[in-house]
């Protein structure tokens, strides 16, 4: 996948196209729900890779919205302030919310924001770890099940409070001096160094931003002139300081809370394809810088809100579609080696958990597991829901595929695959595409692009009513 295939992307908000399928009002109803999913003291964070919970700077939440369009089966969108939810844990979250909403699991999508001082969750890994007396090394399984049940109950409780939606809104704005590409290239076309979410090296911070998607996108639901809910999409790793055991929703969570208070309606923040994007160019990791970066994200959210254009929405303008895909497993993964590491009680716990995560993904794939990619269409606007730590090139490709119609992307769905780079990126080296970090092969690109094309194929504009 060549970068120049994605650079020439833009969204034109053309009035005629935006009136596609829109006419009568009151065709859509929604509910919003929210649950506390803050881990207890001592629980593992970031899949067991950092200091366990030592303090809670601010709480973590699971937030969702359920859409009821005419006689259609409900659609559930949920996003959790955790680092990742993978494999059978992802299935469990979706099934619990499907049961609570009275819908089918293929009409439920669950994502994480991907803060690092936050829990991960993978019941397949926990099952493998428990067999070798390693239960709870990656995450607290009892707490995770409680969080799922608590979130499903929040949905059930909210189901009696449906709100009419007469209009949908869309706006976007640039976020200045937050996102930068993590992969700094050398003259030989290979990755020279990674510029992570925090970077104390002035020379690396002086490097160019690199390929990013600078826009934050906002989708809003309205009952006449009253905002009902706001969904936001921006592609970057969301953390500024991490690894010290201080649980926090971090810069994007802080910005989300302030915007929710300002607007007076629930806000859901989805991390886009930010697998190779972070704040490293602008973040030295200082305590003060979290406040600075959060204010910049908040400013992008405010401008996207101010730029919102609203349109009446009819029930036939709301559509949900999916494609189930089998992502090819990375060929270099050695199951025998991983089993040996997992069983080795003298090995470092982090390495044993890593081996369990690889075995879990391999087992899922061997059992015929498919990843569900969902697309919500609201008139000409599309929101596409993707797995793993996806590279930003996929987000730029989606916008190109959609033509002039707006498209938002939520990544960090099923976290089982780990990082998902472009085919070209696997030839360039670097942290994100190395063995034990990305569990899919370069062939994953073709699979995902095909599914995206099928879901995002532009429709011909129809006359406005």
Predicted TM-score of the model (pTM): 0.93
Helix (H, G, I), strand (E, B) or coil at 304: helix
How many Cβ atoms are within 10 Å of 423's Cβ, its own excluded? 16
132-158 pLDDT, tens digit per residue, is 999 999 999 999 999 999 999 999 999
Percent with pLDDT over 70 in the chain: 92
pLDDT category at 70 given cuts 50, 70, 90 is confident
In a domain, 461, yes or no: no
pLDDT category at 459 given cuts 50, 70, 90 is low
Say what the pLDDT of residue 461 is.
Answer: 42
| 341 phi, psi to nearest 5 deg | -65, -45
Q: Quick one: tokens of 145?
A: 């099940």
Say what the pLDDT of residue 20 is.
Answer: 28
Q: DSSP secondary structure string, 11-53?
A: ----HHHHTTT--SS--EEEEEEEEE-PPPTT---GGGTSPPP
User: Domain total for the chain?
Assistant: 1
Alpha-carbon distance of 415 to 103, in angstroms, equals 23
Alpha-carbon distance of 91 to 416, in angstroms, equals 11
Say what the pLDDT of residue 71 is.
Answer: 86
- Straight-line distance from the first to the last Cα atom of the chain, in angstroms, rounded to the nearest whole number: 41
Long-range Cβ contacts of 161-165 (<8 Å, 24+ apart): 161/31, 162/29, 162/30, 162/31, 162/68, 163/29, 163/30, 163/31, 163/223, 163/228, 164/26, 164/28, 164/29, 164/223, 165/26, 165/28, 165/29, 165/30, 165/221, 165/222, 165/223, 165/228, 165/313
In a domain, 106, yes or no: yes
In a domain, 463, yes or no: no
pLDDT category at 315 given cuts 50, 70, 90 is low
Alpha-carbon distance of 188 to 202, in angstroms, equals 23
State mean pLDDT over 236-251: 96
Domain of residue 389: give its range.
4-456
As beta bridge partners, residue 189 has none
Q: Which residue has the higher pLDDT, 16 or 356?
A: 356
How many Cβ atoms are within 10 Å of 95's Cβ, its own excluded? 16
Say what the pLDDT of residue 462 is.
Answer: 39
In a domain, 30, yes or no: yes
In a domain, 270, yes or no: yes
**Residue 69 in this model has a pLDDT that exceeds 80:** yes
State mean pLDDT over 196-201: 95
In a domain, 142, yes or no: yes
Residues comprising the chain, all counted: 465
Q: What percent of the chain is helix, strand and coil (3-state, nearest 5)?
A: 35, 25, 40
Alpha-carbon distance of 147 to 144, in angstroms, equals 5
357-395 pLDDT, tens digit per residue, is 999 999 999 999 999 999 999 998 999 999 999 999 999
In a domain, 380, yes or no: yes
Kindly report the three-state secondary structure assignment for every residue of 109-135: EEEECCCCCCCEECHHHHHHHHCCCCC
Say what the pLDDT of residue 314 is.
Answer: 72
Q: What are the angstrom distances between the C-alpha of 190 and each of 72, 125, 389?
A: 49, 33, 20
pLDDT category at 36 given cuts 50, 70, 90 is very high
Q: What are the angstrom distances between the C-alpha of 106 and each of 145, 335, 373, 386, 413?
A: 21, 30, 9, 13, 13
Say what the pLDDT of residue 22 is.
Answer: 33
- Tell me the average pLDDT of the chain: 92
Contact (CB, 8 A) for 5 and 392: no
Contact (CB, 8 A) for 334 and 354: no
Q: DSSP secondary structure string, 118-184?
A: S-EE-HHHHHHHHTTT-TTSSS-HHHHHHHHHHHHHHHHHHTT--EEE-EEEEEEEEPPS--EESEE
CA torsion angle 379 385 391 394 (round to 10): -40
Q: What are the angstrom distances between the C-alpha of 53 and each of 242, 244, 357?
A: 11, 8, 21
Closest listed residue to residue 215, CA positions, set 301, 115, 311, 114: 301
Alpha-carbon distance of 352 to 333, in angstroms, equals 14
State mean pLDDT over 196-207: 96
| 380 phi, psi to nearest 5 deg | -85, -10
pLDDT category at 313 given cuts 50, 70, 90 is confident
| 139 phi, psi to nearest 5 deg | -160, 170
Alpha-carbon distance of 157 to 19, in angstroms, equals 35
Say what the pLDDT of residue 295 is.
Answer: 98
């Amino acid at each position: 996948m060549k970068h120049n295939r994605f650079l020439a992307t833009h969204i034109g908000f053309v009035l005629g196209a935006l009136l596609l399928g829109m006419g009568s009002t009151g065709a859509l109803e929604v509910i919003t729900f929210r649950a506390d999913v803050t881990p207890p003291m001592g629980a593992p964070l970031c899949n067991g890779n950092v200091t366990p919970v030592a303090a809670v700077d601010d709480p973590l939440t699971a937030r969702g919205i359920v859409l009821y369009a005419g006689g259609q089966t409900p659609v559930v969108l949920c996003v959790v302030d955790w680092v990742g939810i993978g494999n059978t844990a992802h299935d469990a979250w979706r099934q619990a919310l499907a049961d609570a909403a009275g819908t089918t699991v293929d009409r439920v999508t669950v994502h994480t924001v991907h803060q690092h001082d936050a829990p991960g969750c993978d019941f397949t890994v926990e099952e493998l770890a428990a067999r070798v007396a390693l239960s709870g090394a990656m995450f607290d399984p009892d707490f995770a099940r409680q969080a799922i049940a608590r979130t499903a109950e929040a949905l059930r409780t909210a189901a009696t409070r449906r709100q009419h939606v007469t209009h949908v809104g869309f706006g976007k704005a640039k976020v200045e001096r937050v996102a930068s590409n993590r992969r700094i290239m050398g003259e030989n076309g290979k990755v020279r160094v990674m510029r992570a979410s925090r970077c104390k090296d002035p020379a690396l911070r002086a490097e160019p931003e690199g390929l990013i998607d600078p826009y934050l996108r906002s989708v809003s639901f309205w009952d006449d002139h009253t905002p009902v809910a706001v969904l936001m999409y921006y592609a970057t790793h969301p953390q500024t300081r991490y690894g010290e055991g201080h649980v926090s929703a971090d810069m994007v969570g802080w910005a989300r809370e302030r915007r929710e208070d300002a607007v007076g309606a629930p806000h859901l923040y989805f991390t886009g394809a930010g697998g190779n994007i972070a704040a490293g160019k602008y973040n030295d990791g200082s305590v003060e810088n979290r406040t600075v970066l959060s204010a910049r994200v908040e400013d992008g959210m405010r401008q996207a809100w101010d730029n919102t254009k609203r349109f009446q929405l009819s029930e036939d303008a709301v559509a949900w579609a999916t494609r189930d895909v089998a992502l090819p497993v990375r060929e270099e993964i050695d199951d025998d080696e991983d089993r040996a590491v997992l069983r080795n009680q003298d090995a470092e716990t982090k390495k044993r958990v890593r081996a369990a995560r690889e075995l879990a993904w391999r087992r899922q794939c061997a059992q015929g597991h498919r990843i569900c990619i969902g697309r919500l269409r609201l008139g000409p606007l599309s929101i596409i829901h993707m797995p793993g730590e996806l590279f930003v090139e996929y987000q730029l490709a989606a916008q190109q595929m959609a033509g002039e119609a707006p498209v938002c992307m939520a990544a960090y769905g099923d976290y089982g695959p780990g990082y998902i780079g472009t085919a070209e990126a696997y030839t360039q080296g670097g942290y994100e595409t190395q063995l034990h970090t990305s569990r899919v092969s370069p062939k994953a690109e073709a699979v995902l692009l095909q599914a995206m094309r099928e879901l995002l194929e532009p429709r011909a504009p129809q006359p406005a009513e």
